[in-house]
């Protein structure tokens, strides 16, 4: 069985993210950060695994973004965020199976809502579904929703099945 990974807010090529998120991105240069993100991604995600990117992937040029994506493992799906101008270029789309704004998936019979932004209520939220989002650059966990941005996981992507276990434990502990 292939693994399923998720991440958001990679901010490839974004120098200022080093100032905005110094505790989760302790890199000297943007090049060091970009290389660490690629290396950490590939240390977990295998070529046959599914990888969902939930927005704000690159602040770099189209060509540099293509170079980075070509190095990253996985069957890639992209959901647009608020900083995705470069991701709309036609050269980028060949790296992704799909590119859209919002998605609903099912993993191990569990409904999961994917969106760059946190949603207060989402489809089937009162019937056990989960919601993964980015945008906040935090480690927010609220009920069955969670910020899965790279800043919440030492610049590694998250394993979706591990997140589901974590959220189920969190829900039991808060009830």
Number of domains in the chain: 1
Residues 6 and 167 sit within 8 Å (Cβ to Cβ): no
pLDDT band at 173; cut points 50, 70, 90: confident
pTM: 0.95
pLDDT band at 175; cut points 50, 70, 90: low
pLDDT (average), residues 31-52: 98
CA atoms 55, 31, 17, 6: torsion sign = positive
pLDDT at 159 over 70: yes
Measured N-to-C along each axis, helices 30-44 and 62-71 cross at an angle, to the nearest 10 degrees, of 30
Owning domain of residue 96: 4-174
Angle (CA) 92 42 107, round 5°: 80
- Residues 122-148 pLDDT 10s: 999 999 999 999 999 999 999 999 999
CATH code for the domain of 10: 3.60.21.10
């Amino acid at each position: 069985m292939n693994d399923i990974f998720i991440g958001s807010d990679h901010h490839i090529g974004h120098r200022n993210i080093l100032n905005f998120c110094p505790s989760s991105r302790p890199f000297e240069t943007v090049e060091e950060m970009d290389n660490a993100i690629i290396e950490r991604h590939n240390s977990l995600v295998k070529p046959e695994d599914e990888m969902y990117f939930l927005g704000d992937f690159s602040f770099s040029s189209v060509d540099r973004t293509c170079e980075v994506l070509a190095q990253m493992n996985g069957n890639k799906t992209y959901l647009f965020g608020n900083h995705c101008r470069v991701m709309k270029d036609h050269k980028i789309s060949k790296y992704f199976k799909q590119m859209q704004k919002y998605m609903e998936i099912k993993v191990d019979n569990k409904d999961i809502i994917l969106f760059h932004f946190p949603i207060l209520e989402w489809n089937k939220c009162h019937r056990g579904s989960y919601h993964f989002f980015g945008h906040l650059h935090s480690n927010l966990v609220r009920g069955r929703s969670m910020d899965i941005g790279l800043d919440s996981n030492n610049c590694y992507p998250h394993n979706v099945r591990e997140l589901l276990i974590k959220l189920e434990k969190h829900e039991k502990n808060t009830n």
